[in-house]
Chain A
Amino acid sequence: MTGATLPHDTAPRLRTLGQDLLGLALIALAGLAGYALFPDNLAFLTRVVSVALLVLSLDLIVGYCGIASLGQGALYGTGAYAAGIACLHGVTEPFLLILIGAAAGAVMGLLMGAVMLRAHGLPQLVLSIAIVQLLHEAANKASSITGGSDGLSGMVPAPLFGVFEFDLWGRSAYFFGLALLILVFAALRFIVRSPFGMVCRGLKEDPLRISALGIRAFPVLLKMFAISGAVAGMGGALAAIATQVVGLDSVSFEISANALVMLVLGGIGHLYGALIGTVIFMALEHVVAAINPFHWMTLVGAVLIAIVLFAPRGLSGTLDEAARLLTRSRWRAGR
Protein backbone atom coordinates (compact mmCIF):
# COMPACT_ATOMS: atom_id res chain seq x y z
CA MET A 1 0.00 0.00 0.00
CA THR A 2 2.41 2.67 1.18
CA GLY A 3 6.13 2.80 1.54
CA ALA A 4 8.33 1.41 4.28
CA THR A 5 6.73 0.79 7.66
CA LEU A 6 8.28 2.75 10.47
CA PRO A 7 9.19 1.03 13.75
CA HIS A 8 6.30 1.20 16.15
CA ASP A 9 6.69 3.95 18.73
CA THR A 10 6.14 2.44 22.15
CA ALA A 11 6.87 5.49 24.33
CA PRO A 12 3.31 6.92 24.25
CA ARG A 13 1.90 3.48 25.04
CA LEU A 14 4.17 3.12 28.03
CA ARG A 15 3.17 6.58 29.21
CA THR A 16 -0.52 5.67 28.89
CA LEU A 17 0.07 2.39 30.71
CA GLY A 18 1.85 4.31 33.48
CA GLN A 19 -1.08 6.71 33.77
CA ASP A 20 -3.52 3.80 33.94
CA LEU A 21 -1.52 2.02 36.63
CA LEU A 22 -1.35 5.25 38.60
CA GLY A 23 -5.12 5.68 38.25
CA LEU A 24 -5.77 2.13 39.43
CA ALA A 25 -3.39 2.64 42.35
CA LEU A 26 -5.28 5.80 43.29
CA ILE A 27 -8.59 3.91 43.25
CA ALA A 28 -7.07 1.22 45.45
CA LEU A 29 -5.64 3.86 47.80
CA ALA A 30 -8.97 5.67 48.00
CA GLY A 31 -10.61 2.34 48.79
CA LEU A 32 -8.11 1.59 51.54
CA ALA A 33 -8.51 5.11 52.91
CA GLY A 34 -12.27 4.53 53.01
CA TYR A 35 -11.68 1.36 54.99
CA ALA A 36 -9.30 3.09 57.42
CA LEU A 37 -11.45 6.19 57.92
CA PHE A 38 -14.91 4.61 58.02
CA PRO A 39 -14.50 1.07 59.38
CA ASP A 40 -18.06 1.12 60.70
CA ASN A 41 -19.56 2.07 57.34
CA LEU A 42 -18.29 -0.77 55.19
CA ALA A 43 -21.78 -1.81 54.11
CA PHE A 44 -22.34 1.70 52.79
CA LEU A 45 -18.94 1.76 51.10
CA THR A 46 -19.67 -1.58 49.44
CA ARG A 47 -22.92 -0.12 48.15
CA VAL A 48 -20.92 2.80 46.72
CA VAL A 49 -18.69 0.31 44.89
CA SER A 50 -21.71 -1.58 43.59
CA VAL A 51 -23.41 1.59 42.35
CA ALA A 52 -20.10 2.78 40.85
CA LEU A 53 -20.20 -0.30 38.62
CA LEU A 54 -23.73 0.66 37.59
CA VAL A 55 -22.67 4.24 36.77
CA LEU A 56 -19.61 3.01 34.86
CA SER A 57 -21.88 0.77 32.82
CA LEU A 58 -24.17 3.71 32.09
CA ASP A 59 -21.20 5.81 30.98
CA LEU A 60 -20.38 3.19 28.35
CA ILE A 61 -23.62 3.75 26.51
CA VAL A 62 -24.40 7.37 27.37
CA GLY A 63 -20.90 8.81 27.46
CA TYR A 64 -19.19 6.74 24.80
CA CYS A 65 -22.04 5.93 22.42
CA GLY A 66 -24.35 8.91 22.90
CA ILE A 67 -27.40 6.78 23.66
CA ALA A 68 -29.90 8.33 26.06
CA SER A 69 -30.99 5.91 28.78
CA LEU A 70 -32.96 6.12 31.99
CA GLY A 71 -33.32 2.39 32.30
CA GLN A 72 -29.91 1.16 33.38
CA GLY A 73 -31.48 -0.24 36.54
CA ALA A 74 -32.91 -3.01 34.34
CA LEU A 75 -29.40 -4.38 33.81
CA TYR A 76 -28.31 -3.86 37.40
CA GLY A 77 -31.46 -5.49 38.76
CA THR A 78 -31.21 -8.42 36.35
CA GLY A 79 -27.69 -9.13 37.61
CA ALA A 80 -28.82 -8.83 41.23
CA TYR A 81 -31.81 -11.15 40.81
CA ALA A 82 -29.83 -13.67 38.74
CA ALA A 83 -27.12 -13.89 41.41
CA GLY A 84 -29.70 -13.95 44.19
CA ILE A 85 -31.80 -16.71 42.62
CA ALA A 86 -28.68 -18.75 41.78
CA CYS A 87 -27.47 -18.42 45.38
CA LEU A 88 -30.81 -19.63 46.71
CA HIS A 89 -30.55 -22.63 44.39
CA GLY A 90 -27.21 -23.75 45.73
CA VAL A 91 -24.68 -21.77 43.69
CA THR A 92 -22.90 -20.02 46.54
CA GLU A 93 -19.38 -19.46 45.20
CA PRO A 94 -19.05 -15.63 45.10
CA PHE A 95 -16.93 -15.50 41.92
CA LEU A 96 -19.45 -17.70 40.15
CA LEU A 97 -22.29 -15.49 41.37
CA ILE A 98 -20.55 -12.45 39.93
CA LEU A 99 -20.16 -14.28 36.63
CA ILE A 100 -23.84 -15.24 36.67
CA GLY A 101 -24.76 -11.61 37.33
CA ALA A 102 -22.50 -10.49 34.48
CA ALA A 103 -23.94 -13.05 32.05
CA ALA A 104 -27.53 -12.20 32.97
CA GLY A 105 -26.78 -8.48 32.66
CA ALA A 106 -25.13 -9.02 29.28
CA VAL A 107 -28.13 -10.96 27.94
CA MET A 108 -30.50 -8.29 29.22
CA GLY A 109 -28.18 -5.68 27.69
CA LEU A 110 -28.49 -7.39 24.31
CA LEU A 111 -32.28 -7.48 24.58
CA MET A 112 -32.48 -3.89 25.79
CA GLY A 113 -30.11 -2.74 23.07
CA ALA A 114 -32.02 -4.60 20.37
CA VAL A 115 -35.17 -2.71 21.38
CA MET A 116 -33.67 0.70 22.16
CA LEU A 117 -31.48 0.92 19.07
CA ARG A 118 -34.60 0.92 16.89
CA ALA A 119 -35.24 4.49 18.04
CA HIS A 120 -33.28 7.70 18.52
CA GLY A 121 -33.41 10.64 20.90
CA LEU A 122 -36.47 11.06 23.08
CA PRO A 123 -38.28 7.91 21.90
CA GLN A 124 -35.13 5.99 22.83
CA LEU A 125 -35.22 7.52 26.30
CA VAL A 126 -38.89 6.60 26.69
CA LEU A 127 -38.13 3.02 25.61
CA SER A 128 -35.44 2.75 28.29
CA ILE A 129 -37.91 3.90 30.96
CA ALA A 130 -40.54 1.49 29.66
CA ILE A 131 -38.09 -1.43 29.84
CA VAL A 132 -37.07 -0.79 33.43
CA GLN A 133 -40.69 -0.28 34.47
CA LEU A 134 -41.73 -3.51 32.76
CA LEU A 135 -38.96 -5.44 34.49
CA HIS A 136 -39.84 -3.85 37.80
CA GLU A 137 -43.43 -4.96 37.40
CA ALA A 138 -42.38 -8.43 36.24
CA ALA A 139 -40.15 -8.81 39.31
CA ASN A 140 -43.05 -7.67 41.47
CA LYS A 141 -45.53 -10.13 39.93
CA ALA A 142 -43.21 -13.14 39.77
CA SER A 143 -43.10 -13.32 43.54
CA SER A 144 -42.56 -17.08 43.59
CA ILE A 145 -39.18 -16.54 41.94
CA THR A 146 -38.21 -13.04 43.01
CA GLY A 147 -39.90 -12.66 46.34
CA GLY A 148 -42.06 -9.87 44.92
CA SER A 149 -42.30 -6.75 47.06
CA ASP A 150 -40.71 -8.58 50.01
CA GLY A 151 -37.59 -9.19 47.97
CA LEU A 152 -35.27 -12.16 47.80
CA SER A 153 -33.66 -13.06 51.08
CA GLY A 154 -31.96 -15.96 52.78
CA MET A 155 -28.96 -16.04 50.48
CA VAL A 156 -25.77 -17.30 52.10
CA PRO A 157 -22.76 -16.90 49.82
CA ALA A 158 -19.83 -19.20 50.52
CA PRO A 159 -16.74 -17.64 52.14
CA LEU A 160 -14.27 -15.98 49.76
CA PHE A 161 -11.53 -18.49 48.86
CA GLY A 162 -13.22 -20.75 51.41
CA VAL A 163 -11.85 -18.56 54.22
CA PHE A 164 -13.34 -15.06 54.41
CA GLU A 165 -16.99 -15.07 55.48
CA PHE A 166 -19.44 -12.45 54.24
CA ASP A 167 -20.10 -11.35 57.81
CA LEU A 168 -21.99 -8.56 59.52
CA TRP A 169 -19.00 -6.16 59.44
CA GLY A 170 -18.78 -6.42 55.68
CA ARG A 171 -14.99 -6.56 55.36
CA SER A 172 -14.99 -9.47 52.90
CA ALA A 173 -17.71 -7.92 50.78
CA TYR A 174 -15.94 -4.56 50.72
CA PHE A 175 -12.55 -5.87 49.65
CA PHE A 176 -14.17 -8.25 47.20
CA GLY A 177 -16.08 -5.33 45.70
CA LEU A 178 -13.05 -3.07 45.62
CA ALA A 179 -10.97 -5.70 43.80
CA LEU A 180 -13.82 -6.26 41.35
CA LEU A 181 -14.12 -2.52 40.70
CA ILE A 182 -10.40 -2.20 40.00
CA LEU A 183 -10.43 -5.15 37.61
CA VAL A 184 -13.52 -3.91 35.78
CA PHE A 185 -12.16 -0.38 35.60
CA ALA A 186 -8.88 -1.61 34.07
CA ALA A 187 -10.81 -3.65 31.50
CA LEU A 188 -13.04 -0.70 30.62
CA ARG A 189 -10.07 1.63 30.17
CA PHE A 190 -8.72 -0.88 27.68
CA ILE A 191 -12.06 -1.22 25.89
CA VAL A 192 -12.80 2.50 25.51
CA ARG A 193 -9.33 3.12 24.10
CA SER A 194 -9.46 0.20 21.67
CA PRO A 195 -10.42 0.69 18.01
CA PHE A 196 -13.87 -0.60 19.03
CA GLY A 197 -14.10 2.16 21.65
CA MET A 198 -13.04 4.75 19.08
CA VAL A 199 -15.75 3.57 16.70
CA CYS A 200 -18.29 3.98 19.52
CA ARG A 201 -17.10 7.52 20.15
CA GLY A 202 -17.15 8.17 16.43
CA LEU A 203 -20.76 6.97 16.32
CA LYS A 204 -21.60 9.39 19.09
CA GLU A 205 -20.03 12.24 17.12
CA ASP A 206 -21.39 11.39 13.67
CA PRO A 207 -22.89 8.01 12.69
CA LEU A 208 -22.80 8.84 8.98
CA ARG A 209 -19.02 9.23 9.00
CA ILE A 210 -18.65 5.85 10.64
CA SER A 211 -21.00 4.38 8.07
CA ALA A 212 -18.81 5.82 5.30
CA LEU A 213 -15.89 3.96 6.86
CA GLY A 214 -17.76 0.71 6.24
CA ILE A 215 -18.90 0.10 9.80
CA ARG A 216 -22.51 -0.78 10.66
CA ALA A 217 -23.63 1.02 13.78
CA PHE A 218 -26.13 -1.53 15.09
CA PRO A 219 -23.77 -4.47 15.86
CA VAL A 220 -21.19 -2.12 17.37
CA LEU A 221 -23.73 -0.49 19.69
CA LEU A 222 -25.31 -3.82 20.55
CA LYS A 223 -21.90 -5.12 21.60
CA MET A 224 -21.47 -2.10 23.85
CA PHE A 225 -24.92 -2.72 25.34
CA ALA A 226 -23.83 -6.27 26.18
CA ILE A 227 -20.61 -5.05 27.80
CA SER A 228 -22.55 -2.40 29.69
CA GLY A 229 -25.04 -5.03 30.81
CA ALA A 230 -22.26 -7.29 32.05
CA VAL A 231 -20.75 -4.47 34.12
CA ALA A 232 -24.11 -3.39 35.55
CA GLY A 233 -24.96 -7.05 36.22
CA MET A 234 -21.73 -7.46 38.19
CA GLY A 235 -22.69 -4.40 40.25
CA GLY A 236 -26.08 -5.93 40.96
CA ALA A 237 -24.58 -9.31 41.83
CA LEU A 238 -22.12 -7.62 44.18
CA ALA A 239 -25.00 -5.86 45.94
CA ALA A 240 -26.84 -9.20 46.23
CA ILE A 241 -23.78 -10.91 47.73
CA ALA A 242 -23.00 -8.05 50.10
CA THR A 243 -26.50 -7.40 51.43
CA GLN A 244 -27.85 -10.94 50.92
CA VAL A 245 -31.12 -9.31 49.94
CA VAL A 246 -32.42 -8.32 46.49
CA GLY A 247 -35.32 -5.88 46.48
CA LEU A 248 -37.47 -4.27 43.83
CA ASP A 249 -35.46 -1.06 44.26
CA SER A 250 -32.57 -2.71 42.42
CA VAL A 251 -34.62 -2.78 39.22
CA SER A 252 -36.28 0.61 39.47
CA PHE A 253 -36.56 3.85 37.58
CA GLU A 254 -35.25 5.62 40.68
CA ILE A 255 -31.89 3.86 40.68
CA SER A 256 -31.63 4.41 36.91
CA ALA A 257 -32.29 8.15 37.27
CA ASN A 258 -29.90 8.45 40.20
CA ALA A 259 -27.19 6.73 38.16
CA LEU A 260 -27.65 9.30 35.39
CA VAL A 261 -27.46 12.14 37.91
CA MET A 262 -24.22 10.69 39.32
CA LEU A 263 -22.80 10.43 35.82
CA VAL A 264 -23.68 14.03 34.97
CA LEU A 265 -22.20 15.14 38.27
CA GLY A 266 -18.92 13.33 37.66
CA GLY A 267 -18.68 13.99 33.94
CA ILE A 268 -20.13 12.07 31.01
CA GLY A 269 -17.65 10.19 28.83
CA HIS A 270 -14.93 9.95 31.50
CA LEU A 271 -14.65 6.67 33.39
CA TYR A 272 -13.05 8.51 36.30
CA GLY A 273 -16.00 10.89 36.21
CA ALA A 274 -18.38 7.99 36.81
CA LEU A 275 -16.45 7.08 39.97
CA ILE A 276 -16.16 10.66 41.22
CA GLY A 277 -19.86 11.33 40.60
CA THR A 278 -20.91 8.18 42.42
CA VAL A 279 -18.75 8.86 45.47
CA ILE A 280 -19.81 12.50 45.79
CA PHE A 281 -23.52 11.88 45.21
CA MET A 282 -23.70 8.95 47.60
CA ALA A 283 -21.59 10.67 50.24
CA LEU A 284 -23.86 13.73 50.01
CA GLU A 285 -26.92 11.52 50.22
CA HIS A 286 -25.50 9.62 53.17
CA VAL A 287 -24.28 12.59 55.20
CA VAL A 288 -26.99 15.13 54.41
CA ALA A 289 -29.80 12.59 54.76
CA ALA A 290 -28.49 11.75 58.22
CA ILE A 291 -28.43 15.44 59.21
CA ASN A 292 -31.77 16.33 57.68
CA PRO A 293 -33.79 13.35 56.47
CA PHE A 294 -36.58 15.57 55.14
CA HIS A 295 -34.73 18.14 53.05
CA TRP A 296 -31.55 16.39 51.92
CA MET A 297 -32.77 16.24 48.33
CA THR A 298 -32.97 20.03 48.33
CA LEU A 299 -29.26 20.32 48.98
CA VAL A 300 -28.45 17.62 46.44
CA GLY A 301 -30.61 19.47 43.91
CA ALA A 302 -28.83 22.76 44.64
CA VAL A 303 -25.42 21.11 44.17
CA LEU A 304 -26.56 19.63 40.88
CA ILE A 305 -27.82 22.96 39.59
CA ALA A 306 -24.49 24.54 40.54
CA ILE A 307 -22.57 21.78 38.73
CA VAL A 308 -24.66 22.05 35.57
CA LEU A 309 -24.37 25.85 35.52
CA PHE A 310 -20.74 26.26 36.46
CA ALA A 311 -19.17 22.96 35.40
CA PRO A 312 -21.30 21.66 32.52
CA ARG A 313 -18.73 18.97 31.68
CA GLY A 314 -19.04 17.56 35.19
CA LEU A 315 -16.38 17.51 37.86
CA SER A 316 -13.90 15.37 35.93
CA GLY A 317 -14.31 17.49 32.79
CA THR A 318 -13.68 20.64 34.81
CA LEU A 319 -10.62 19.10 36.45
CA ASP A 320 -9.35 18.10 33.00
CA GLU A 321 -9.82 21.63 31.72
CA ALA A 322 -8.05 23.11 34.75
CA ALA A 323 -5.12 20.72 34.29
CA ARG A 324 -4.90 21.63 30.61
CA LEU A 325 -4.90 25.36 31.36
CA LEU A 326 -2.24 24.86 34.03
CA THR A 327 -0.03 22.87 31.64
CA ARG A 328 -0.45 25.50 28.95
CA SER A 329 0.42 28.39 31.26
CA ARG A 330 3.51 26.52 32.51
CA TRP A 331 4.55 25.79 28.95
CA ARG A 332 4.16 29.47 28.02
CA ALA A 333 6.12 30.50 31.10
CA GLY A 334 8.86 28.04 30.09
CA ARG A 335 9.14 29.64 26.65
Chain B
Amino acid sequence: MPAAELDVRNLSAGYGQTHVLEDVSFSVPAGGRLSILGRNGMGKTTLMASLMGLTRRYAGSIAVGGTDITALGTAARARSGIGLVPQTREIFKGLTVEENLFAGLKGRPRSAIEEAYALFPRLRERRRNLGSQLSGGEQQMLATARTILGQPSVLLLDEPLEGLAPVICDMLMEAFTRLAGSGAMTILFVEQRLESALDFAEEVVILERGRIVWSGKPDALRADAETLERYVGVGGLH
Protein backbone atom coordinates (compact mmCIF):
# COMPACT_ATOMS: atom_id res chain seq x y z
CA MET B 1 0.00 0.00 0.00
CA PRO B 2 1.44 3.44 -0.91
CA ALA B 3 2.57 5.72 1.93
CA ALA B 4 0.02 8.31 3.10
CA GLU B 5 0.61 11.71 1.54
CA LEU B 6 -1.97 13.28 3.81
CA ASP B 7 -2.53 11.84 7.26
CA VAL B 8 -5.11 13.41 9.58
CA ARG B 9 -5.32 12.01 13.11
CA ASN B 10 -8.06 12.80 15.68
CA LEU B 11 -8.51 16.33 14.42
CA SER B 12 -10.87 18.57 16.38
CA ALA B 13 -11.20 22.12 15.15
CA GLY B 14 -13.61 25.03 14.84
CA TYR B 15 -14.02 28.76 15.21
CA GLY B 16 -13.47 30.50 18.54
CA GLN B 17 -15.24 28.44 21.17
CA THR B 18 -17.37 26.59 18.62
CA HIS B 19 -16.20 23.06 17.92
CA VAL B 20 -17.14 22.03 14.38
CA LEU B 21 -14.92 19.00 13.71
CA GLU B 22 -14.64 16.23 16.30
CA ASP B 23 -12.04 13.48 16.22
CA VAL B 24 -11.67 13.34 12.45
CA SER B 25 -9.14 10.80 11.16
CA PHE B 26 -8.36 9.68 7.62
CA SER B 27 -5.41 9.27 5.33
CA VAL B 28 -4.95 9.54 1.59
CA PRO B 29 -2.06 7.91 -0.30
CA ALA B 30 0.17 9.85 -2.67
CA GLY B 31 -1.73 10.48 -5.90
CA GLY B 32 -4.98 9.36 -4.28
CA ARG B 33 -8.43 10.92 -4.67
CA LEU B 34 -10.77 11.29 -1.72
CA SER B 35 -14.26 12.75 -1.94
CA ILE B 36 -15.79 14.23 1.19
CA LEU B 37 -19.57 14.16 1.31
CA GLY B 38 -22.21 15.34 3.70
CA ARG B 39 -25.15 17.70 3.87
CA ASN B 40 -24.75 21.42 4.22
CA GLY B 41 -23.31 22.59 7.52
CA MET B 42 -21.73 19.26 8.45
CA GLY B 43 -18.15 20.54 8.49
CA LYS B 44 -16.78 19.85 5.01
CA THR B 45 -15.56 23.39 4.36
CA THR B 46 -14.30 23.65 7.94
CA LEU B 47 -12.26 20.50 7.36
CA MET B 48 -10.66 22.05 4.27
CA ALA B 49 -10.01 25.29 6.12
CA SER B 50 -8.53 23.37 9.06
CA LEU B 51 -6.11 21.50 6.81
CA MET B 52 -5.01 24.91 5.51
CA GLY B 53 -4.59 26.30 9.03
CA LEU B 54 -7.44 28.77 8.78
CA THR B 55 -9.37 27.60 11.83
CA ARG B 56 -8.65 27.01 15.49
CA ARG B 57 -7.37 23.52 16.26
CA TYR B 58 -8.23 21.95 19.61
CA ALA B 59 -6.67 18.51 19.18
CA GLY B 60 -5.20 16.13 16.67
CA SER B 61 -2.46 16.22 14.08
CA ILE B 62 -1.95 16.68 10.35
CA ALA B 63 0.99 15.30 8.38
CA VAL B 64 1.90 15.86 4.74
CA GLY B 65 4.38 13.47 3.14
CA GLY B 66 5.27 12.14 6.59
CA THR B 67 6.05 15.59 8.01
CA ASP B 68 3.91 16.93 10.86
CA ILE B 69 2.53 20.32 9.84
CA THR B 70 0.13 20.76 12.74
CA ALA B 71 2.05 23.64 14.29
CA LEU B 72 2.57 25.51 11.03
CA GLY B 73 0.69 28.65 9.98
CA THR B 74 -1.26 29.01 6.76
CA ALA B 75 1.59 30.27 4.58
CA ALA B 76 3.98 27.60 5.85
CA ARG B 77 1.40 24.87 5.21
CA ALA B 78 0.99 26.12 1.66
CA ARG B 79 4.76 25.98 1.24
CA SER B 80 4.80 22.46 2.66
CA GLY B 81 2.60 21.34 -0.21
CA ILE B 82 -1.06 22.00 0.57
CA GLY B 83 -3.02 24.02 -1.99
CA LEU B 84 -6.58 25.14 -1.33
CA VAL B 85 -9.09 26.18 -3.96
CA PRO B 86 -11.72 27.70 -1.68
CA GLN B 87 -15.47 27.48 -2.11
CA THR B 88 -15.64 31.25 -2.53
CA ARG B 89 -12.92 31.10 -5.26
CA GLU B 90 -11.28 34.20 -3.87
CA ILE B 91 -9.49 35.39 -6.92
CA PHE B 92 -8.07 38.92 -6.87
CA LYS B 93 -10.86 40.77 -8.61
CA GLY B 94 -8.81 43.92 -9.11
CA LEU B 95 -6.08 42.04 -11.01
CA THR B 96 -6.24 40.64 -14.52
CA VAL B 97 -6.25 36.91 -15.16
CA GLU B 98 -2.55 36.95 -15.97
CA GLU B 99 -1.72 39.06 -12.91
CA ASN B 100 -3.67 36.62 -10.71
CA LEU B 101 -1.59 33.81 -12.14
CA PHE B 102 1.65 35.74 -11.57
CA ALA B 103 0.71 36.06 -7.90
CA GLY B 104 0.58 32.27 -7.63
CA LEU B 105 3.97 31.56 -9.19
CA LYS B 106 5.88 31.33 -5.88
CA GLY B 107 9.25 32.04 -7.47
CA ARG B 108 8.69 29.98 -10.61
CA PRO B 109 9.47 31.65 -13.96
CA ARG B 110 6.72 33.65 -15.66
CA SER B 111 6.60 31.11 -18.48
CA ALA B 112 5.14 28.61 -16.00
CA ILE B 113 1.73 30.22 -16.46
CA GLU B 114 1.57 28.41 -19.81
CA GLU B 115 0.78 25.32 -17.71
CA ALA B 116 -2.34 27.10 -16.48
CA TYR B 117 -3.34 28.03 -20.01
CA ALA B 118 -2.76 24.45 -21.15
CA LEU B 119 -5.11 23.23 -18.43
CA PHE B 120 -7.72 25.93 -19.03
CA PRO B 121 -7.35 27.43 -22.56
CA ARG B 122 -10.27 29.76 -21.76
CA LEU B 123 -8.01 31.68 -19.38
CA ARG B 124 -5.62 32.51 -22.21
CA GLU B 125 -8.47 34.18 -24.10
CA ARG B 126 -9.37 36.16 -20.97
CA ARG B 127 -5.82 36.92 -19.84
CA ARG B 128 -6.30 40.70 -20.02
CA ASN B 129 -9.67 40.72 -18.27
CA LEU B 130 -10.01 41.69 -14.63
CA GLY B 131 -11.04 39.00 -12.19
CA SER B 132 -14.29 40.90 -11.63
CA GLN B 133 -15.12 40.56 -15.35
CA LEU B 134 -15.02 36.74 -15.34
CA SER B 135 -17.98 34.39 -15.19
CA GLY B 136 -18.31 32.05 -12.21
CA GLY B 137 -16.83 29.17 -14.20
CA GLU B 138 -13.90 31.24 -15.37
CA GLN B 139 -13.28 32.40 -11.81
CA GLN B 140 -13.22 28.78 -10.72
CA MET B 141 -10.75 27.93 -13.48
CA LEU B 142 -8.57 30.85 -12.44
CA ALA B 143 -8.68 29.94 -8.74
CA THR B 144 -7.75 26.35 -9.57
CA ALA B 145 -5.01 27.34 -12.02
CA ARG B 146 -3.47 29.81 -9.58
CA THR B 147 -3.29 27.12 -6.90
CA ILE B 148 -1.90 24.53 -9.32
CA LEU B 149 0.94 26.87 -10.32
CA GLY B 150 2.27 26.52 -6.77
CA GLN B 151 2.75 22.79 -7.50
CA PRO B 152 0.98 21.50 -4.38
CA SER B 153 1.34 17.85 -3.46
CA VAL B 154 -2.10 17.93 -1.79
CA LEU B 155 -4.86 19.81 -3.59
CA LEU B 156 -8.03 20.71 -1.70
CA LEU B 157 -11.02 21.44 -3.94
CA ASP B 158 -13.91 22.89 -1.97
CA GLU B 159 -17.18 22.64 -3.91
CA PRO B 160 -15.60 23.71 -7.21
CA LEU B 161 -18.78 23.05 -9.20
CA GLU B 162 -21.17 25.02 -7.02
CA GLY B 163 -23.52 27.22 -9.00
CA LEU B 164 -21.95 26.48 -12.38
CA ALA B 165 -23.61 25.49 -15.66
CA PRO B 166 -23.37 21.77 -16.57
CA VAL B 167 -21.10 22.43 -19.54
CA ILE B 168 -18.64 24.33 -17.33
CA CYS B 169 -18.83 21.58 -14.72
CA ASP B 170 -17.88 19.07 -17.40
CA MET B 171 -14.88 21.19 -18.44
CA LEU B 172 -13.73 21.51 -14.84
CA MET B 173 -14.18 17.82 -14.09
CA GLU B 174 -12.17 16.99 -17.19
CA ALA B 175 -9.37 19.23 -15.95
CA PHE B 176 -9.50 17.74 -12.43
CA THR B 177 -9.36 14.26 -13.91
CA ARG B 178 -6.31 15.24 -15.98
CA LEU B 179 -4.63 16.57 -12.85
CA ALA B 180 -5.46 13.42 -10.92
CA GLY B 181 -4.30 11.27 -13.83
CA SER B 182 -0.83 12.76 -13.66
CA GLY B 183 -0.46 11.09 -10.24
CA ALA B 184 1.52 14.08 -8.98
CA MET B 185 -1.19 15.30 -6.64
CA THR B 186 -3.28 13.93 -3.86
CA ILE B 187 -6.72 15.45 -4.27
CA LEU B 188 -9.45 16.03 -1.69
CA PHE B 189 -12.74 16.83 -3.34
CA VAL B 190 -15.70 18.32 -1.51
CA GLU B 191 -18.75 18.42 -3.75
CA GLN B 192 -22.53 18.44 -3.48
CA ARG B 193 -22.98 16.87 -6.93
CA LEU B 194 -22.97 13.28 -5.82
CA GLU B 195 -22.37 11.66 -9.21
CA SER B 196 -19.36 13.87 -9.91
CA ALA B 197 -17.92 13.23 -6.45
CA LEU B 198 -18.32 9.46 -6.72
CA ASP B 199 -17.06 9.25 -10.29
CA PHE B 200 -13.94 11.18 -9.35
CA ALA B 201 -13.00 9.48 -6.09
CA GLU B 202 -11.13 6.33 -5.19
CA GLU B 203 -12.30 6.63 -1.58
CA VAL B 204 -15.18 8.46 0.05
CA VAL B 205 -15.83 9.72 3.56
CA ILE B 206 -19.09 11.19 4.84
CA LEU B 207 -19.15 13.88 7.48
CA GLU B 208 -22.11 14.27 9.81
CA ARG B 209 -22.05 16.98 12.45
CA GLY B 210 -18.29 17.22 12.26
CA ARG B 211 -17.59 13.49 12.57
CA ILE B 212 -16.78 10.87 9.97
CA VAL B 213 -19.72 8.49 9.97
CA TRP B 214 -18.94 6.44 6.87
CA SER B 215 -15.90 5.69 4.75
CA GLY B 216 -15.35 3.30 1.88
CA LYS B 217 -15.30 2.84 -1.85
CA PRO B 218 -17.61 4.83 -4.15
CA ASP B 219 -19.29 1.69 -5.46
CA ALA B 220 -20.08 0.57 -1.94
CA LEU B 221 -21.75 3.88 -1.26
CA ARG B 222 -23.69 3.74 -4.52
CA ALA B 223 -25.12 0.43 -3.40
CA ASP B 224 -26.00 1.70 0.09
CA ALA B 225 -29.22 3.62 -0.43
CA GLU B 226 -29.90 3.88 3.29
CA THR B 227 -26.58 5.61 4.02
CA LEU B 228 -27.08 7.94 1.07
CA GLU B 229 -30.56 8.81 2.27
CA ARG B 230 -29.52 9.25 5.85
CA TYR B 231 -26.30 11.25 5.51
CA VAL B 232 -26.26 12.77 2.04
CA GLY B 233 -29.96 13.40 1.60
CA VAL B 234 -30.53 11.45 -1.63
CA GLY B 235 -32.53 8.24 -1.97
CA GLY B 236 -30.23 6.46 -4.38
CA LEU B 237 -28.38 6.71 -7.65
CA HIS B 238 -29.33 5.41 -11.02
Contact = CB atoms under 8 A, between A and B. Distances in A.
A5 interface: yes
B118 A199 contact: no
Interface residue range, chain B: 35 or more
Nearest to A216: B75
Contacts of B103: 195, 198-199, 201-202, 210, 213
Interface string A205-217: 1101111111111
B75 to A, nearest CB: 5
Interface string B110-134: 1100110111000010011000000
B92 A202 contact: yes
Contact of B114 (A8, A195, A201, A205): A8
B238 interface: no
Interface string B69-107: 000011111110000101000101111001110111111
Interface residues of A, number: 28
A214 B53 CA distance: 11
Contacts of A4: 118
Given A1-B184, A213-B103, A213-B147, A6 B117 contact: yes
A12 B127 contact: yes
- Which interface residue of B92, B93, B150 has the most chain A CB atoms within 10 A? B92
Contacts of A3: 118-119, 178
Contact of B92 (A1, A209, A217): A209
B169 interface: no
Nearest to B86: A212
Contact of B90 (A1, A199, A209): A209
Contacts of B147: 213
B94 A205 contact: yes
B95 A201 contact: yes
Contacts of B94: 201, 205
Nearest to A15: B128
Contact of B75 (A193, A206, A211): A211
Nearest to A269: B94
B87 to A, nearest CB: 13
Contacts of A193: 99
- Which interface residue of A9, A193, A206, A214 has the most chain B CB atoms within 10 A? A214
A206 B117 contact: no
B114 A6 contact: yes
A5 B92 contact: no
Interface string B57-74: 000000000000000011
A100 B221 CA distance: 70
Nearest to B108: A195
Given A3-B178, A198-B99, A205 B74 contact: no
A234 B171 CA distance: 52
A68 B14 CA distance: 33
A8 B74 contact: no
A205 B110 CA distance: 22
9 contacts: A1-B151, A12-B127, A195-B103, A198-B95, A209-B92, A213-B150, A214-B78, A215-B75, A217-B75
Given A213-B146, A214-B76, 13 more contacts: A1-B115, A2-B178, A3-B118, A5-B118, A6-B117, A6-B124, A195-B102, A202-B95, A206-B90, A208-B54, A213-B147, A213-B150, A217-B75
Report the 5 A-B pairs with minimum CB-CB distance, sorted nearest first. A214-B78, A198-B102, A198-B103, A214-B79, A195-B102
